[in-house]
Amino acid sequence: MKIAVFSTCSYDEEFLEKYNTDHELIFFKQALDYDNLSLTKGCDAVCLFVNDQANGQILSALAENGVKLILLRCAGFNNVDLEVAEELGISILRVPAYSPEAVAEHAIAMIMTLNRKTHKAYNRIREGNFSLEGLMGFNLHSSKVALIGTGNIGKVMYRILKGFGCQISAYDPYPDLELRSDGLKYASLEEVLKDADIVTLHCPLTEQSFHMINGQTLRYFKKGAMLINTSRGALIQTSAVITSLKSGGLGSLGLDVYEQESGLFFRNLSEKVIQDDLIARLISFPNVLISSHQGFFTREAMRQIAETTFSNADAYVSGKILVNEIKP
């Protein structure tokens, strides 16, 4: 099968070529959009990542070009119009889980960094400044954590936080029975937010979860609380978070995702002027830590993504049951 692979970096090519099961791969660094649809002509499938667009208009053009399959090398699928894809007969296959430990561990790294300010200490020491002024944190042990979402990543996060001795409560429309039997208490979003020292997001982006952290829900937060998002950028209304940071409501913010990240993340823009005023403002805060959708980025996760992507492709070609297919 001939597959056009979009939004590729050197590491994508390395792992996809290593675990390729005899498909013809054509790599493109750019994301799939209206301007480069011609690149898919003659291809049987396209392989997309989180910031590639597959709305109705793009899907129609893909179908005209002969594309019958979209391979998502990610878990999220909010960038795909599933209804239009089904109408056009285009199958959508994803990678539902790839090293949930990677993302959970990155969230913990952000919590620890913001709390104990190790990034600031590192820079101070390099400049000969050995002062501890302004570096005080708090014990994670016995701190209260609101776990928003208890899917694969949320479950790993729960176990890590439990190891730290945190007091954990959770919000999820679909409580996990295993975690509940282990003692995890579920409550409404308002209830888990109002008491938490740390709020960490681990849920998919849907119509219901879009901007779930907004001007209203931020009022439930305890003053000085920490907010961590390693899931999807649009779970957070960025302008509302900036207002809360400016007023001193939020104590700190860690973002591995950003709702307008498609024009920024996975690129080297060090020689350019950032045109996004919201992220420029976020970067200016001393209590904000941003990484560039790095949470998934481990060797183990990259291998799992490649293996599952080709397993999906092989199943489609051989007419087997598509266990990772997404339907509307």
223, 249 Cβ separation under 8 angstroms:
yes
Q: What is the pLDDT of residue 149?
A: 98
- The runs of H, that is alpha helices, within the chain are 10-18, 56-64, 82-88, 100-116, 118-126, 152-164, 177-181, 189-193, 215-218, 238-247, 277-284, 299-318
261 is catalytic: yes
pLDDT digits over 148-165, tens only?
Answer: 999 999 999 999 999 999
287, 252 Cβ separation under 8 angstroms:
yes
Catalytic residue among 73, 202, 232, 259: 232
Q: What is the pLDDT of residue 97?
A: 81
pLDDT tens over the chain, length 328 residues: 999 999 999 999 999 999 999 999 999 999 999 999 999 999 999 999 988 999 999 999 999 999 999 999 998 898 899 999 999 999 999 998 888 999 999 999 999 999 999 999 999 999 999 999 999 999 999 999 999 999 999 999 999 999 999 999 999 999 999 999 999 999 999 999 999 999 999 999 999 999 999 999 999 999 999 999 999 999 999 999 999 999 999 999 999 999 999 889 998 999 999 999 999 999 999 999 999 999 999 999 999 999 999 999 999 999 999 999 999 9
Three-class SS of residue 92? strand
Q: For residue 225, which of 106, 144, 117 has the smallest C-alpha distance?
A: 144
Catalytic residue among 23, 202, 259, 261: 261
DSSP letters of 205-262? --TTTTT-BSHHHHTTSPTTEEEEE-S-GGGB-HHHHHHHHHHT-EEEEEES--TTGG
Q: What is the pLDDT of residue 263?
A: 84
| 2-98+299-318 carries CATH number 3.40.50.720 | yes
Catalytic residue among 73, 293, 299, 307: 293
Q: Which tokens in the block code for residue 138?
A: 């708090």
Cα 183 to its chain centre, rounded Å, is 27
Q: Which residue spans of the chain are classified as CATH 3.40.50.720?
A: 2-98+299-318, 100-290
157, 104 Cβ separation under 8 angstroms:
yes
Residue matched to tokens 């990155």: 106
Q: What is the pLDDT of residue 76?
A: 84
Distance, in Å, from the CA atom of 37 to the CA atom of 180, rounded to the nearest integer, reads 47
With vertex at residue 58, the alpha carbon angle to CA 12 and CA 296, rounded to the nearest 5 degrees, is 30
Q: What is the pLDDT of residue 262?
A: 85
Please give the CATH architecture assigned to the domain spanning 100-290.
3-Layer(aba) Sandwich (3.40)
| pTM of the predicted structure, to 2 decimals | 0.90
CA dihedral 155, 290, 224, 285 (to 10 degrees): 180
87 is catalytic: no
State in Å, rounded, how far the first CA of the chain is from the last one. 25
